[in-house]
């Protein structure tokens, strides 16, 4: 807990340029958030005192405190008078918060964590597809169809294609008419986004994902919950397989529960 202050003129703690958009406290939170999630500060560590740290970052104490409040709201840290601001154990982190996800994927993503996310997808999304098949209305189907068309037109290699993919999954979650699941959409969507980029980075996209998505759409349109659930299950499994191989561990699958 020491010479962080000296490093300021270097690169590490340089004040983010915050070109018109993000506010100062926001970029501070981002910086510290990434540092925590990536392990620079381990759980249990005590951050330097407010005065020291804010001076090291060359920001006012107020801005720094606001950043800490945001981190505290996401369960990353906890500050108590006299005790200082302490990094909380990983179990308390709000790992499904979109910002935290962003920070987690800012550096090299932890492979185990990616696997965990896919495991969660494999649980939630098939069920969601089933509910969607029962509850979707004309509008949902229209959005799904449109997203699918856009995925066809652009490929997943383009930003537009990835947005379409995300819209597709979002629309399914929304069609469940379940707020709690819709919240997971933001998280899962973010995760999908990031992992998709990793697949691209490995610049080997062995599989054409359109047919998988099309099967899910057909089942939902037909109102067949069981088929939709199964089709989504296949989709997620294949996506994991692609991602895993892109991350260097081919052959990974998730054992199915009957």
Closest distance to DNA from the beta carbon of 99 (Å): 15
3-state secondary structure of 253: coil
Cβ atoms of residues 151 and 213 within 8 Å: yes
The entry of DNA, a second copy, none near residue 257 (CB within 5 to 8 angstroms by kind) is a second copy
- 70, 77, 172, 236: residue in contact with a second copy (rule CB under 8 A): 70
- Name the residue nearer to a second copy (CB basis): 13 or 28: 28
Each residue 116-145 as x (binds a second copy by CB under 8 A) or -, in order, gives xx-xx--xx--xx-xx--x-----------
Question: Pick from 147, 195, 196, 229: which binds a second copy (CB under 8 A)?
Answer: 229
Q: Are 133 and 225 in contact (CB under 8 A)?
A: yes
For a second copy, the closer CB: 91 or 203: 91
The residue from 4, 94, 155, 197 that contacts a second copy (CB under 8 A) is 94
Residues making contact with DNA (CB under 7 A): 18, 20-21, 23-26, 47, 49-51, 58-63, 65-66, 68, 79-85
Question: Closest separation between CB of residue 64 and DNA, Å?
Answer: 7
- Look at residue 70 and give the partner it binds from DNA, a second copy, none, a contact being a CB closer than 5 to 8 Å depending on partner kind: a second copy
Half-sphere exposure (Cβ direction) of 232: Cα atoms closer than 13 Å:
28
Give me 142's structure tokens: 């229209």
- Taking the complex as a whole, the smallest distance from the CB of residue 120 to a second copy amounts, in Å, to 4
* Cβ proximity to DNA, 26 vs 98, nearer residue: 26
Looking at beta carbons only, is 140 or 156 nearer to a second copy? 140
Is residue 46 helix, strand or coil?
strand
Size of the site for a second copy (CB under 8 A): 50
- CB-based contact 80:161 (threshold 8 Å): no
183 is a site residue for a second copy (CB under 8 A): yes
Q: How far apart are CA 115 and CA 21, in angstroms?
A: 33
Please state the φ and ψ torsions of residue 86, each to the nearest 5 degrees.
-115, 140
3-state secondary structure 96-154: CCHHHHHHHCCCCCCHHHHHHHHHHHHHHHHHHHHHHHHHCCHHHHHHHHHHHHHHHHC
Q: Which is nearer to DNA, 58 or 159 (CB)?
A: 58
Give backbone dihedrals phi and psi of 130, rounded to 5 degrees, phi first.
-60, -50
């Amino acid at each position: 807990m020491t010479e962080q202050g000296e490093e300021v003129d270097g690169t590490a703690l340089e004040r983010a340029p915050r070109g018109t958009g993000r506010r100062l406290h926001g970029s501070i939170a981002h910086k510290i958030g990434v540092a925590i999630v990536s392990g620079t500060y381990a759980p249990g560590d005590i951050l330097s005192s407010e005065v020291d740290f804010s001076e090291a970052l060359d920001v006012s104490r107020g801005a720094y405190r606001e950043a800490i409040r945001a981190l505290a709201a996401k369960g990353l840290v906890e500050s108590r008078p006299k005790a200082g601001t302490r990094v909380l154990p990983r179990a308390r982190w709000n790992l499904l918060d979109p910002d935290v996800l962003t920070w987690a994927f800012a550096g090299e993503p932890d492979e185990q964590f990616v696997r965990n996310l896919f495991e969660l997808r494999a649980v939630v999304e098939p069920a969601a597809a089933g509910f969607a098949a029962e509850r979707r209305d004309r509008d949902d189907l229209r959005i799904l169809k449109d997203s699918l068309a856009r995925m066809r037109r652009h490929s997943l290699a383009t930003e537009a294609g990835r947005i379409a993919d995300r819209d597709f999954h979002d629309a399914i979650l929304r069609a469940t008419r379940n707020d709690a699941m819709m919240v997971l959409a933001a998280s899962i969507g973010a995760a999908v986004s990031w992992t998709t980029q990793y697949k691209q980075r490995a610049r080997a996209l062995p599989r054409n994902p359109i047919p998988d998505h099309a099967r899910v759409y057909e089942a939902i349109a037909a109102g067949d919950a069981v088929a939709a659930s199964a089709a989504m299950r296949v989709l997620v499994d294949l996506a994991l397989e692609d991602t895993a191989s892109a991350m260097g561990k081919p052959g990974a699958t998730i054992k199915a529960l009957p």
